[in-house]
Structure 1
């Protein structure tokens, strides 16, 4: 089951958020947002009754999906959208906070300002390329 969630995170969640929400605008971004929300809802449901995907402790699925805990807020800032709010995804929000607050994890995140700069540059380049077509 862990492989399924790791693949789901890479193939569905990552693709819908990065390739859709981050680097699109207008109607295309709105459509990508719907897909991203559907994918995030699957993760929300998987967390029912658990602190982490692995139960009460961080496990393989948490590590495979851990990028969400860092990147979601960065991408929200860059794209100017709210993807994971406590009202819509309370379990996923709590998981993101708990995962990010784990000493092993938080001590190894890339600096937030560098990540914002990187993803802002990616977004700007992709939007400029799309506009020139």
Structure 2
């Protein structure tokens, strides 16, 4: 995701392609399960839970749809399931702050790349 966020042009497209491939792998791992470990939430779900909050922010900043329900039905359902867990939802930073943070990071990387 970092490659897509911090680059433009060909490098960004390569980053988006890499994300698409990784999402396919995650989709396959979830197929038929509620969580990555099966029926109960586990460490892998927590380790990947940041996707739930950050993916829509990256989509907004990059103006692309990365994850959609048609291509990723199991992952989309997992996102809804994770989002409904109160302790997780209550722990997320506000969306507007995430957008501002990641937009600033993107601009800083792009400015540095243009300066070189």
Name the TM-score class by shorter chain: over 0.9
2:91 alignment partner, SS class: coil
Q: Give runs of ≥4 in structure 1 deviating > 4 Å.
A: none
Name the counterpart of 1:109: 92
Q: Distance in 1 between matches of 2:59 and 2:101?
A: 14
What is the CA distance between 1:57 and its match in structure 2?
A: 2.4
State yes or no: 1:49 paired with 2:32: yes
Q: Distance in 1 between matches of 2:82 and 2:37?
A: 11
What is the CA distance between 1:76 and its match in structure 2?
A: 0.7
State yes or no: 1:126 paired with 2:109: yes
CA distances 1:24-64 after superposition (whole Å, capped 9, x unpaired): 11111111111111111110000011111122221111001
Q: Distance in 2 between matches of 1:44 and 1:117?
A: 29
- Count matched residues: 116
Higher relative contact order (CA 8 A, sep 6+): 2
Q: Distance in 1 between matches of 2:107 and 2:77?
A: 31
Name the counterpart of 2:57: 74
Once superposed, what is the RMSD of the aligned Cα atoms?
1.0
Gaps of 5+ in 1: 1-16
TM-score (norm 1): 0.83
CA distances 1:7-30 after superposition (whole Å, capped 9, x unpaired): xxxxxxxxxx12x11111111111
Name the counterpart of 1:5: none
CA distances 1:77-118 after superposition (whole Å, capped 9, x unpaired): 111111111111111111112112211110111111101100
What is the CA distance between 1:130 and its match in structure 2?
A: 0.6
